[in-house]
Amino acid sequence: MNSRHAAWGVGLAALIALPFVYRDPYHLHILVLILIWSFAYTAWSIMGRFGLVSLGHGGFMGVGAYVTALLWNHLGLSPWIGIPISMVAAGALALVVAYPCFRFRITGHYFVLVTLALSGIVLQVITATRDHTGGSLGYTPNRAPSGHGLIALQFDDKTTWYLIALAVWVLGLLIWRWVDHSMSRYAMEAISEDEDAAAAAGVNVTAEKLKITLISALMTALAGALYCQYQMFISPDTVSGIAVSLQMVFAVIVGGLYVSLGPTVGAIITIMLAEILRISFGTKAVGWDNLVYGLLLVIFIIFLPKGILGSVLDRLKTQPKKPKTT
């Protein structure tokens, strides 16, 4: 166990040191994107691994991004306050939708479709209030006057963003680990097997599910807000709606739903794939990345439902133990 902790520590130290040694802005940009999206995907997987498949996370992400940006532009409220407010808003939205869902035992297909309606609503509201949100043309947070970058959470240099994204990503993994080691995990696993039996065994089904959903929604909203602050441009298509929700599901499934680094592996694969296709095909690549995504998603669900990392780890575990090479 100790060597494992050491490995984590060394890996983390290497990741922190990276931007000070290696300064290529394009590669750092890709890394920041990977870290932010990994965090969002981790947020999704916290729910998804217990069979709570939500297609509403695009909605939470949209709320996180748009509320933060709107508060900054219209009220001049610093994202330091705006982000918590947007997270609370997304959490409230999650509770309003999820509580009745869980109370009335809406599960499986029905839960997926109710949450699908949720991301549909958020997308349509953003589009319909185009006087304030810019509609489908997108929205840009106002540039802060120079010297006020910290208050506005706007940084021009990639290293700062890399470190912020890294911290958030580690936070995401810690939350994942905390859930993984908590009693909630056993409760949720029991619930996903059989709700009635879990309830009979003394699990408060509604409360447990709500807890997980709330954690997941808060994290997703934070990811949306960070994405907005980093990119300085959001549009309904990139941070909300059904396509974003499906993208999350896709990345998590490809990476591995049941392992802590699975969503990260998924983010690395999807973002690298999109970038490689974009660079090698240029503007002709429009559509190709999604075509490959879709194909991979179908192939993975049919042949590798545990995802890449999950399957690799499984194989390592079942292999006969080799003599230790230390």
Partner 1 sequence: MQAFLDIFDIYLLEAVVNGILLGGVLALLALGLNLIFGVIDVTWICYAELVMIGMYGMYYMVQAFGLPYWVAAPIAILLVAGLGALLHYLVIEPLLTAPPINQLLATGGVLFILQSFATVAFGIDFRNLGIRLPVLAIGDMHFSYSRLLAFVAALIGMLAVYFFMTRTYTGTAIRAISQDRQIMSLMGVDTKRIYLITSALGGALAGLAACLLVLQYDVHPFVGLSFGPITFLICVLGGLGNFVGGFIAAFVFAEIISLGGLFADLEWGYVLAFAFFIVMMFIRPAGLLARRS
For position 297 contacting partner 1 by CB under 8 A, the verdict is yes
3-state secondary structure of 240: coil
Residues 6+ apart with CB under 8 A from 242: 55, 58, 116, 119, 120, 123
Of residues 141 and 241, the one with the C-beta less far from partner 1: 241
Long-range contacts of 145-153 (CB under 8 A, 24+ apart): 151/78, 151/80, 152/72, 152/78, 152/79, 153/78, 153/79, 153/80, 153/83, 153/229
Interface region with partner 1, contact rule CB under 8 A, candidates 16-24, 193-201, 223-231, 238-246? 238-246
Least distance in Å: CB of 185 to partner 1? 19
Smaller CB distance to partner 1: residue 8 or 104?
104
**Contacts to partner 1 from residues 173-202, by CB under 8 A:** none
Please give the structure tokens belonging to residue 94.
């999650």
Annotate 262-288 with DSSP letters as a single string: HHHHHHHHHHHHHHHHHHHHGGGGTTH
- Closest CB to partner 1 among residues 114, 144: 114
Cβ count near 30 (within 10 Å): 16
Nearest-angstrom CA–CA distance, 264 and 35: 8
Question: Phi and psi for 317 in degrees, rounded to 5?
Answer: -70, -40
Is there binding between residue 150 and partner 1 (CB under 8 A)?
A: no
Per-residue mark of binding to partner 1, 251-290 (x: CB under 8 A): --x--------------------------------xxxxx
Judged by CB under 8 A, does residue 30 bind partner 1? no
Among the listed ranges 31-39, 145-153, 239-247, 260-268, the one in contact with partner 1 (CB under 8 A) is 239-247
- For partner 1, the closer of residues 260 and 290 by Cβ is 290
Cα–Cα distance measured from residue 197 to residue 190, given in angstroms and rounded to the nearest whole number? 8
Compare residues 198 and 249 and give the one whose CB is closer to partner 1. 249
Helix axes 108-128, 242-255, angle to 10 degrees: 130
Window 123-142: contact mask with partner 1 (x via CB under 8 A): -xx-xx--------------
Piece of the chain touching partner 1 by CB under 8 A; list 17-25, 174-182, 247-255, 316-324: 247-255
Residue 246 interacting with partner 1 (CB under 8 A): yes
Residue range at the interface with partner 1 (CB under 8 A); choices 27-35, 196-204, 245-253, 311-319: 245-253
- How far is the C-alpha of 324 from the C-alpha of 326, rounded, in Å? 6
Do 190 and 197 meet the contact criterion of CB atoms below 8 Å apart? yes
Q: Coil, strand or helix: which one is 145? A: coil
- What residues line the site for partner 1 (CB under 8 A)? 51, 53, 97, 100-101, 104-106, 108-110, 112-114, 116-118, 120-121, 124-125, 127-128, 242-243, 246, 249-250, 253, 286-291, 293-298, 301-302, 305
